Amino acid sequence: MFGGPAWRWEPNRRQYYLHHFLASQPSLNLRHPEVTEALFDVARFWLARGVDGFRLDAIDFLLHDPALTSNPLRAVPSGATVKPFGLQHHLYDMMQPGPPALLQRLRALADARPGTLLLGEFSSQEGAYERIRRHTGPDGLHLGYTLRPMRGGDAAGMLGRALGEIALAGGGEGLCWAFSNHDAARVASRWGVGAAGHAASARLLLGLLLSLQGAICLYQGEELGLPEARLTREQLRDPQGIASFPHFPGRDGSRTPLPWRAGEAHAGFTAGEPWLPLPAEHHPLSIDLQHADPEAPLQACRRLIAWRKAHPALRYGDLIPLDLPAPLIGFIRQAPQERLVLAFNPSAAPVRFTSPLLGKGEFCENGFTGLVESNMAVLPPWSGLALSLGAETRRQKVG
């Protein structure tokens, strides 16, 4: 995954071993009873200490083909820059028959301690949403999220494709949404303006995330609108970034510390020397300053979480995509108690659109400033609107 060979010679054992990631992370044989029992002992240890659950990393790599069959090659466009991992169809080194039994056993451990959550990380490879559907449920994980929405592109394009793939996979049950994590560039830079202090795009992206169907993960600093940190090669700690710099700067730009207090050393994160530096452009976005600013992303995030909790349609309702002109993103969220129409403009220009639904709803306050007159709406840059259509009377697709 990080470049270089996936096999490493171990001179003491006189054997090669497989590692999908770093050489210090050997791929364990989870078909071996003693190996799996040792791992479940680790789970029991932490459950006994009272943890709330486990986030399971790179779950697609739990089991590989026992015959170690080679993956077929994948054709790529001439001249395209693709890391070696992308030059194969990953049929044999990723999820194989067997994980349900492993996950079922882990789920039984979790269920023995009520309130314990199992969250799986799924790769961005094709079929991610189908894998989430297949491996979540009463005998598997509680929830799964995928890196697929985090792999480049604009918000409207990526989310439009994601919603289409979720529908083809049979729905989003068990899905957890995440726009950022420690392996991807921060969403404020990837989909937003990215400049420190640009609160409008950060608020818009938080509103969009907290309006989606499923569980929600907020990555540290996302609630502050932190942009991706720009680091020198000497400041990097990520082995992948160090090896690939400058073509790929690594993942450390999204891993820098939280800024707590502006103007203090390391923005109040520590009195010592942090593992990664805290960039100067993050100081104006510190938590103490955002506490005092009602328009700050942090304050907007708190309001949006409360708004989500107050609306059954957002907490557990269905999602029906709306066909809106680019770059808009829109959908209906509906539950028996209510139906909401939501539209977002993730761009720096105002956008007009028409829909017969607009004249049927009443404004539902969510902090955005979209304007509606009859069947026409105007969404200012980095803004949106929410309309309540009242209780759901029938279930049908709306275009």
Extract the tokens encoding 176: 């957890």
The tens digit of pLDDT for each residue in 156-206 reads 999 999 999 999 998 888 999 999 999 999 999 999 987 755 899 999 999
Q: For 228-238, how does the pLDDT look when each residue is reduced to its tens digit (9 = 90+)?
A: 999 999 999 99
Write the pLDDT tens digit of every residue in 10-65. Answer: 999 999 999 999 999 999 999 899 999 999 999 999 999 999 999 999 999 988 89
d(CA 128, CA 106): 21
Looking at residue 136, its amino acid is T
Domain ranges of the chain: 32-72+89-305, 319-390
Q: Using pLDDT thresholds of 50, 70 and 90, give the confidence band for residue 398.
A: very low
Nearest to 100 by CA among 135, 127, 64: 135
pLDDT for 196 equals 59
108-124 confidence digits (pLDDT tens) = 999 999 999 999 999 99
Architecture per CATH, domain 32-72+89-305, reads as: Alpha-Beta Barrel (3.20)
**By the 8 A CB rule, do 229 and 279 touch?**
yes
Nearest Cα neighbor of 191 from 181, 175, 183, 202 is 202
Which of 345-364 are b and which e, b meaning 16 or more Cβ less than 10 Å from the residue's Cβ? bbbeeebebebebbeebeeb
Q: Which fold has domain 319-390?
A: Immunoglobulin-like (2.60.40)
Please give the biggest Cα pair distance in the chain. 76
What pTM does this model have?
0.91
Write the DSSP assignment of 134-198 as a string of letters: HHBSTTSBSEEEESGGGSSS-HHHHHHHHHHHHHHTT--TTBEEES--TTS--HHHHTS--STT-
334 SS3 class: strand
